[in-house]
Every structure is written in C-alpha cells, then in structure tokens.
Amino acid sequence: MKIIKNKKEKGFSLVEVLVAISLNLLIAGMIITIASSSLRHIRTIKDHRNLYSTASFLNNQFTYWIKQGTNFEVLPANPGDQLKIRIGSSTTTIAKDLNDRITIYDGVDTEYLTDDNIKVDNLVFTKMDNSVRIALTLNTGNPTKTFSATTTVAQRN
Amino acid sequence: MGKINLNKFNQQGFGLIEALVGMVVALIIILAFTTLISRAVVYNSINGKQLKATLYLQEMIEATKDLEQSSDGWNRLTTSTSPCYTICYPEISGSSWIVNSGTSTIDGIYTRSFMVEHVCRSTTTNEILTTPCNPADLEYSSTTKKVIAEIEWNDQLGPNHLELEAYLYNFNP
C-alpha cells in the first residue's frame, strides 16, 4: 500500500502563527499609543489656539474701550476687579462675572467678551496716572492649559 | 444540484502576512502624522511666546504714552540726564511709571528695553525728517521725540527679536 504525501498542503506552523499574532499585537499597541498621543496633542493645540486668540481679542477690546475713555475708575469687587470707563456722558464697565467670563456693560446691555470654552482665572486692573495696567490669566477648563500676561493701555491725549 | 467547492486550498481572504504588512503600513502613516503633530505643538508654543512678547512690547510703548501726558513724565523721559537716550526700561512706582537705566527681564525669558531719540523737524514745514539736522533750516524738536522699544527672547527655534517705534509729543510744553 502506497502512502502518498500531499505536496499541495499549505499553511503556517503554530510557531509562525504565534509570531505573526504577537507582531500584530505589538504593532497595534504602538499604533493605538501613538494615535492617542497625537489626539491629545491636537486637543492641546486647539486649546492653546483658543487661549491665544481670546487673549489677543481681549487686548484689542481693552485697547478699544480704554482709548475712548476720558476717565477711569477701578473698583475692587468679587469675583474680579471692575474697570469703569467714562466715555462722554455714559459709563462702560468691564468685569469678571461669577461664571468666570469677562463682561462689558454699557448701561443698557451686557455682552460677553469670552465664550464658554474659556475661563478667566484672574483679572486685575491697576489704575496708573494716565493708563490702566491689566493682568489676565485664562484657562480652558484644564488648569495645565493656561495663558497669563500683563499689558498696559494708555488713555488717548 | 449545484457544485459545492470544498477545496480548502482555493479559499481566499487575508492571511497573517497581509495583516502584518497592513499594520506596518498603518504604523508608518501614523508615525508621519505624529511627526507633523509634534511640529505643530512646537510652533503652537512659539506662537504663545510671541503673543506674550507682543503684549510686553506694546506695554512699553503705552507706558511712554502715559508719561507723555504729564509734564513730570515728559521730563523723566526726555530730560538731558534721562537714561532713555541710551537704554532704559519702564517700571511701576506707586501709581506712576518711572524709567530706569538698562534692560528688564520678564518671566525669566523676555528681555525688554526702549530708547528715546531726538526728532529732526523742519522749521518751515514742521515735517519730521530722517536726515541729520542742518542748523540752517532744521532743528531738533523739543516737543517731539521718537521711542524705539524692543524685546528679545529665545524659543525652540532660537533667538527672537521684535521692535516697535512710536512718536511722542509734548502737549503741555
């Protein structure tokens, strides 16, 4: 009786399968780690971009309002200082509210200078002889992602 | 009745090798993407530092604009013994801005200073001229000065420098 060995049989040995599965798992793990790290970085970039654009916008707004003012008054208040700017016969007030946003009140309407994604940690106005110094700290809800800066805006002659 | 092909060697699909190759290709693509993201993080940090530098630079010009508006402040800036004709920096004293000789460091990375220059104006047209003053028809203005503010800092790409210029005018000579 002849035993014919089937030469066409193909396949992987158990060791080959184990090696391939291990490599697949290793590479899949690397992909997941790298991808999650990248996603975290993308969120960080988005948060910082939001902080920078808000800080820049606030600087423009402070400059716009203070340059129009003929007189200023800084009132220490809770939760942050209030800056009262006299413009003509009206008074515009810039302040931090209880929801950590910056508001501007012109005697009629209240507008928000920051959106819900940005929290104002700190807003300090210091009245100088002919200018106002502004210290500001913003965050995105995550205490590690903050932006702090100090600047000054002089009143117009 | 149709034939059912039970030949196992004709069965098709992805094998382990194909899966492995696919994973390696995906890894290469994700690594390239990650490199881009890392660069974006670096440039994002650089943008933040540049924004702060701009605010600190602007503050110096605004401090001189504060000083411009009072006779005391004007004298502090422009008296013949003022350190600002060489190099100086603004500092707060009480509720006033004062000037000190030299440069100041902020946040440990920014170095800022400014200087005041005489301005040459035509006695006939009052025009500001960049050429040196000729005593025949031009003179240094006692009411107009030029302030040049600068800030320097280092970031991941190396040293950086920003400069701003403004004119000051004494409204109460």
At A115-147, the pLDDT tens digits run 988 999 999 999 999 999 999 999 998 777 899
For A27, which of B27, B52, B56 is closest by C-beta distance? B27
Q: Report yes or no: A153 and A62 within 8 Å, Cβ to Cβ.
A: yes
pLDDT digits (tens, 9 = 90+) for A99-115: 999 999 988 999 999 99
Distance set, CA A91 to CA A50, A155, B83, B100 (Å):
30, 15, 39, 36
Task: Answer whether B33 sits within 8 Å of A149, measured CB to CB.
Answer: no
- Determine the pLDDT at residue B19: 81
d(CA B58, CA A155): 14
- Nearest of B65, B160, B56 to residue A149 by alpha carbon: B56
pLDDT digits (tens, 9 = 90+) for A34-77: 989 999 999 999 999 999 999 999 999 999 999 999 889 999 88
Please say if the pLDDT value at position A155 is more than 50.
Answer: yes
Alpha helices in chain A (DSSP H): 14-68
Q: Which residue type, as a one-letter code, is found at position A61?
A: Q
Indicate the Cα dihedral angle A106, A110, A113, A116, nearest 10°.
170
d(CA A154, CA B173): 20
Query: Exposed, middle or buried: residue B153 (CB in 10 Å: 0-12, 13-18, 19+)?
Result: buried
For B44, which of A23, A24, A49 is closest by C-beta distance? A49
How do the domains of chain A map onto residue ranges?
14-154
Given CB atoms, is B19 within the 8 Å cutoff of chain A?
yes
- Determine the pLDDT at residue B52: 96
pLDDT digits (tens, 9 = 90+) for B31-74: 898 899 999 999 999 999 999 999 999 999 999 999 999 888 89
Q: Which residues contact B8 (CB under 8 A, 6 or more apart)?
A: none
Please say if the pLDDT value at position A18 is more than 60.
Answer: yes
Given CB atoms, is A75 within the 8 Å cutoff of chain B?
no
Please say if the pLDDT value at position A31 is more than 50.
Answer: yes
Mapped onto helix, strand or coil, the DSSP state of residue A11 is coil
Per residue, what are the HEC states of chain B?
Answer: CCCCCCCHHHCCCCCHHHHHHHHHHHHHHHHHHHHHHHHHHHHHHHHHHHHHHHHHHHHHHHHHHHHHCCHHHHHHHHCCCCHHHCCEEEEEECCEEEEEECCEEECCCEEEEEEEEEEEEECCCCCEECCCCCCCCEEEEEEEEEEEEEEEEEECCEEEEEEEEEEEECCCC
**Per-residue pLDDT for chain B (173 aa), expressed as one digit of tens each?**
455 554 555 555 667 778 888 888 988 998 898 899 999 999 999 999 999 999 999 999 999 999 999 888 898 888 888 899 999 999 999 999 999 999 999 999 999 999 999 888 877 788 888 767 766 556 688 889 999 999 999 998 899 999 999 999 998 77
Instruction: State how far residue B159 is from chain A, nearest Cα, in angstroms.
Output: 20
Task: Answer whether A52 sits within 8 Å of B66, measured CB to CB.
Answer: no
